[in-house]
Amino acid sequence: MNTQPHRSNSSQMTPDSPAVETSRAKVAILLCTYNGSRFLGEQLESFVRQTHKNWVIYASDDGSNDDTLVVLNKYQQVLGKDRLILLSGPRQGFARNFLSLIKNRSIIADYFAFSDQDDIWFEDKLERSIAKAAIPRSTPALYCSRTRLISADKRVQGYSPLFSAAPEFANALVQSIAGANTMLINTQARELLAKTPDDAVIVAHDWLTYLLVTGCGGKVFYDPQPTLDYRQHSENLIGANNGLRDRLVRLAKMCTGRFSEWSTHNLRILKSFRPRLTPQSQQTMERFEQARQSSFFTRLYLMKKSGIYRQTLPGNISLFIAACLNRI
């Protein structure tokens, strides 16, 4: 097993340079943990098995009171303190823990891979992610994918939804396209996320990433092929949301005002990024904002004019219903 990282030459590159050679790209695996000892070992083992070997794990523990730190210390002894770096989280919830890693300037890499504590990565996850996201460094890049769903005892239960519509800002305003556990971003996208206001209310960090990358002229690469086993169990903070019941729950949230509340939080963050948004993104956001404050027919007209959409027909039907009820 090769656990020694290759050196990255990213410090010698200018912002407009092509992405660093994929085989030598350094990846920071951003792992947030909290009482995850039950499955954490399998996740760490899947990192070790990666075909791309130049990675460093940054594990931010948010105050676990189980054996999570025992597991992390065990793997740190095997991998070395230069390959598994332990940090203390802010203890303000998962999104804040994640942002603490994004904003940590001591973490330097060519790419940043988000990780849950209970999944199992496919061996080529990093290699495939980097190959897709290897674009000039001046452009924010986000790679994400479908997931294969497994039970707590690793029985395959299906797959996350397959999306085919373009991953664009007009979609991001009303939908998150993929789970953070599949995501890999480049340094330019990391810089965007790092500028998130400290007092912002973050609905979901995967949704925020999708919004900022698309809104600021970045590229999103959605892979229809899964890159990991997404474990479904009673302790999941967020599940796969793949069944009929989950779709009905999402519709209920849209119609009762929960979705509107999420939109408000997202728009507050986006307003702080307004100078960085592309002209088209600014126009789309302004029409969406105006629609939320307009009377019935004007609201529907502006919603159509804004071009916002969800990835599936049922999703767009629920979006239309929410617009009619002014719950956007």
Q: Could you read off the pLDDT of 175-204 as tens digits, one per residue?
A: 999 999 999 999 999 999 999 999 999 999
Instruction: Give percent of the chain above pLDDT 90.
Output: 83
Burial class (CB in 10 A: 0-12, 13-18, 19+), 154: exposed
- Tell me the pLDDT band of 10, cut-offs 50, 70 and 90: very low
Query: Residue 18 has what pLDDT?
Result: 54
Give the mean pLDDT of the chain.
Answer: 91
Q: Terminal CA-to-CA distance of the chain, rounded, Å?
A: 51
What is residue 66's predicted lDDT score, i.e. its pLDDT?
A: 97
Confidence of residue 245 (pLDDT cuts 50, 70, 90): low
Stretch among 33-47, 63-77, 230-244 having the lowest mean pLDDT: 230-244
Percent of the chain with pLDDT over 70: 88
Confidence of residue 118 (pLDDT cuts 50, 70, 90): very high
What's the pLDDT score for residue 22?
86
Confidence of residue 243 (pLDDT cuts 50, 70, 90): low
**316 class by beta-carbon count within 10 Å (0-12 exposed, 13-18 middle, 19+ buried):** middle
- What's residue 246's pLDDT? 66
What pLDDT score does 303 carry? Answer: 96
279-292 and 258-272 helices, crossing angle to 10°: 140
Domain 10-232 bears CATH identifier 3.90.550.10: yes
Instruction: Look at residue 11 and tell me whether its pLDDT is greater than 50.
Output: no
Report d(CA 238, CA 39) in Å as an integer.
16
Predicted TM-score of the model (pTM):
0.90
Cα-to-chain-centroid distance, residue 221: 12
In 3D space, the residue among 119, 158, 159, 96 whose CA is nearest the CA of residue 29 turns out to be: 119
Does the pLDDT at position 2 exceed 70? no
pLDDT band at residue 51 using 50, 70 and 90 as cut-offs: very high
Read off the pLDDT of each residue in 109-124 and give the average, rounded to a whole number.
97
Ranges of CATH 3.90.550.10 domains, the chain? 10-232
